[in-house]
Structure 1
Amino acid sequence: MTTSVLALLTLAACGTETGAGDDGGSSVDTALPVTGVKWTVDTLTVNGKQAKAPAGAHVEIDAKGRASGNFGCNQFGADVTVKGDSITVGPGQSTEMGCEKDLQKFETALSRAFAGELKAKLAGDRLTLTTPQGDTIALTSKPERPAQLVGPEWAVDSLLDGGTASSLPAEMTGKAQLTFGKDGTVRGNLGCNNVSGKATVDGSTIIFGSLASTRKMCPAPVMETEQALHHVLKGKAAYKIDGRTLSLTAADGKGLSATAIEAEPRPRK
């Protein structure tokens, strides 16, 4: 499944490229403006049913035919060869983080629908890829405005350990979240208990003060994960924002990943 998903997003990035060489390796004709562009995956349509892509799903391709990106949960990389409007994808690599149920369902659909040869059509900033069965993926090259650390609610979705990411227990889905304030504070919930305290930003580092926490007891898997999250929020942690994804990494390589949640628009009076 992972290889097929890699095929999808890699194809999304280079489906509009033409004139690939015949040397059997990956190749890209940069005549069309698709390289060096962040293509955002918008929707997937299978058997006439359209599904919105998860936040953060995107792909970028360089002039050498190397594609990389994220389909909303796992990161990927793969080589591609393009001939006319047909795209062939080489073996790909991907992280293997477990995903939340709805995201896993979307991921499975991608793996089934986007494999083998795809046809691509570019119209302005919109790219459409079509399978032989008529299923389609729609992408756009509109720049995504990076989220700011202060302000949005950051939904914690995974634990990091070096180059490995693991999902949170199902019981914690939608519960673990953090919000950084303009006054140098952080508040939120670690999946079971509410927390609050100081969070001072110094360059690419956040220095966390001692966090106050409620004392609610939850099932063992939740409490263990909460302790792991609490560990990341002790002392200094490096932070990085990529689009709408925040990663926090402690000195020992332990960390967490979170996604910025857009606020619901207020109704007009």
Structure 2
Amino acid sequence: MRTQLIVPAAAALTAAITLTACGSEKGPGQGAGDDAGGSVRPAAPVTGVHWTVRNVTVDGKRIAAPAGAHVEFTTGKAGKDGAKGRAEGNYGCNHFGADVTIKGDTITVGPGQMTEMGCPQGVAGFEEALRAAFSGALKAKVSDKNLTLATADGDSIALTAQPAAPLAGTKWTVTSLLKRETAVSLPAGTEGKAHFVIGKDGSLSGNLGCNDFRAEATTSGSTLTVGRLSSTRKMCAGTAGMVEKAVTDALTGKVTYELNHRSLTLDSADTGKGVVATAG
């Protein structure tokens, strides 16, 4: 990981720990004899799911989430005090991690750790709101593919489950730049412009942050080999030009990629530059 989490990400577990609902309604495939001891059956899974943050409401003010804000829960075996585990995700710019306990419909979030990238002012404000809301005992409510986490003070976080994005055919929007082991956020005013699509036909196309581009690309294992880029010829000064140069360097030659659900990291072995991109 290129950012500097104090505690490394927990390994994803496949077993889903679920929120309990009042009553003993049986889930799919459960017969009358499955409800051993009259225990309350789970209602909907919260672990093993990529939850994208839609918005945060703090002090009655709703703030829309930037692209990439998400959280995933992983837990171990449940005990009498609940299931202990981790929450890992992204506040919208910085990555974070925190210990959690899931018991019934309550998710208790412990003190968190986060990276320390400088973020644009608007995103930084959202991150502060999300950090404040995603703390302590939260009441969880799952409805269809949506999850709502509510604090005792009435603040809330609205999230939606999203499936993993495939490498090819997905529009990947650049969210941060990498240089060796260091990640930096995009300069203010350049967010959301640089993007690319790895085509199933062996093409690579999109926008470098200023100019549109196209190239041939082949995938082998975890390596993307990018041919010569051809692009439009707009003059790109200032921060737009800086982003364009960084993205071009990241898409040069043999590029190692790491796909994590809806996040893609690219590192060029030739230039030492890279990018982090989010699906959508």
Is TM > 0.5 for Structure 1 vs Structure 2?
Answer: yes
Is the partner of 2:242 in helix, strand or coil?
helix
Is 1:41 matched up with 2:49?
no
Indicate conservation of the 8 Å contact 2:256/2:266, yes or no.
Answer: yes
Is the partner of 2:244 in helix, strand or coil?
helix
Match of 2:213 among 195, 201, 207: 195
Structure 1's 67 and 253: CA in aligned 2 closer, same or farther, altered over 3 A?
A: farther
Indicate conservation of the 8 Å contact 2:177/2:183, yes or no.
Answer: yes
CA distance in 1, matches of 2:243, 2:142: 46
Give 1:101 shift.
Answer: 4.6
What is the match of residue 119 of structure 2?
A: 99
CA distance in 2, matches of 1:190, 1:38: 28
What is the match of residue 234 of structure 1?
A: 252
User: Which is richer in strand?
Assistant: 2
Residue by residue over 1:92-143, the C-alpha shift from the partner in whole angstroms, topping out at 9 and shown as x without a partner, is 221223334543332222234444x434144566544322321122345x4x
Percent identity reads 51
User: Which is richer in helix?
Assistant: 1
Give 1:248 shift.
Answer: 1.0
Extract unaligned runs of 5+ from structure 2: 6-16, 21-40, 77-83
Please, what TM-score do these two structures have when normalized by structure 1?
0.71
Is the partner of 1:227 in helix, strand or coil?
helix
Is the partner of 2:234 in helix, strand or coil?
coil
Indicate conservation of the 8 Å contact 2:92/2:127, yes or no.
Answer: no
1:146 maps to amino acid:
A
Residue by residue over 1:216-240, the C-alpha shift from the partner in whole angstroms, topping out at 9 and shown as x without a partner, is 3322443233222211111110122
1:258 maps to amino acid:
A
What is the match of residue 67 of structure 1?
A: 87
Give 1:15 shift.
Answer: 11
Structure 1's 204 and 118: CA in aligned 2 closer, same or farther, altered over 3 A?
A: same
What is the match of residue 177 of structure 2?
A: 159
Structure 1's 243 and 90: CA in aligned 2 closer, same or farther, altered over 3 A?
A: same
Structure 1's 157 and 34: CA in aligned 2 closer, same or farther, altered over 3 A?
A: closer
Q: What is the count of residue pairs matched by the alignment?
A: 235
CA distance in 1, matches of 2:261, 2:47: 18
Which 4+ residue blocks in structure 1 deviate beyond 6 angstroms?
Answer: 82-86
What is the match of residue 154 of structure 2?
A: 134
CA distance in 2, matches of 1:34, 1:145: 14
Is the partner of 2:243 in helix, strand or coil?
helix
Match of 1:254 among 248, 254, 273: 273
2:129 maps to amino acid:
A
Please, what TM-score do these two structures have when normalized by structure 2?
0.69
Structure 1's 45 and 77: CA in aligned 2 closer, same or farther, altered over 3 A?
A: same
